[in-house]
Structures are given as C-alpha cells and as structure tokens.
Amino acid sequence: MALLPILRYPDPRLKKVASPVTQFDDQLAKLAKDMGETMYEAVGVGLAATQVDVHKRVIVMDVSENKDELIVFVNPEIIQASEEHKVYEEGCLSVPGIYDKVDRPASVRVRAQNVKGEFFELDCDELMAVCIQHEIDHLNGKVFVEYLSQLKQTRIKTKLKKHEREGA
C-alpha cells in the first residue's frame, strides 16, 4: 500500500493544469490504485491527481455508502450539464476542516477513459455530480474555495496557516 502526500491549499502546485494521459500502462494503474488507497485513508469521496502532485488528468471517486465502488476517471470531461443548479456544502482533502456552499449544475454527463484507455460515459447527479465537478476543477488548477468571496478565501488561508504553525 502506497499512501501519497496530499497537497494543502494554498500550495501553488494546486494551481497547475493537469496534462492529458496518453499512456495507459501499469504505471497509470498503480497511480490510480495508490490514489484510491490515499482517498480512502483520508476519508474522502474523491481525489484528483493534482492533489497528490501528479499533474495528469486522473480522478478517483467513491460516493457509495459502503466505500466499495471506486471509479477511476482518466481524461474526464463534462459533455453535458443541466441548466438547473443546486447548492451543496463542499469540503476538500486539500483544504482540511473547511466546508462551504458552492453552486453548481445539479447533474452532468461525463465522458472519460478507464485505466485501460476504454471510453465510458456516466450520468451523474446529487453527490456524484458535485464530486466530479469539484475534482475536474482540481485538474484545471482550481480549488473549491475560489468560488467563495475574497474575504472568505483570506480567512481560510489565515486559518490553515495558523493550524500549520500549531502542528495540527
């Protein structure tokens, strides 16, 4: 089992835009497996490769109740989004202990590849829709707190720096 270190906001590496995956090999499969183990250990529902300082377009997600339905999205893209929006409270493994409301499309259709390079499409709503949009944002160099006001962003940075200084 290889747990990967998760970057913490406002680490500048979280701003890097991830590159498309072009090689579907054992190295990619290992990355996806390690990301899954890291996500489960951190008690998350999604993790983007950007968050573990690998700048490839890879996401792992498991929104199931029993945490036994890991989905790997390679080169994911939203191909359809509902006009209806919904506000959900979001959190992030890169922004520990911080939760806030974000307005996003209520449902989306995603096209991606699996670790073997095979294409698939998935209709997502509820938590899955929120999670896939949140994780794709990471691949594009955006963290959910960037949807919040400048004042809230400053307060979050200050709070996280204080926790870091205190060794929390």
Show binding-site residues: 92, 134, 138
H-helix or E-strand containing 102? strand 95-105
Q: Which of 121, 135, 164, 166 is catalytic?
A: 135
The string over 72-91, giving b where at least 16 C-beta atoms fall within 10 Å of a residue's C-beta and e elsewhere, is bbbbbebeebeeeeeebebe
Distance in angstroms (rounded) separating the CA atoms of residues 78 and 96: 26
Catalytic residue check, 135: yes
**Cα–Cα distance between 149 and 69 in angstroms, integer?**
35
Show Cβ contacts of residue 54 under 8 Å, excluding neighbours closer than 6 positions.
4, 31
Token pair listed for 9: 């906001």
7 vs 71: CA distance, rounded Å: 22
Q: Identify the DSSP state of 19.
A: B
Instruction: Provide the annotated binding site for Fe cation.
Output: 92, 134, 138
Give the separation between CA 88 and CA 69, rounded to whole angstroms.
Answer: 22
The residues annotated as belonging to the active site are 135
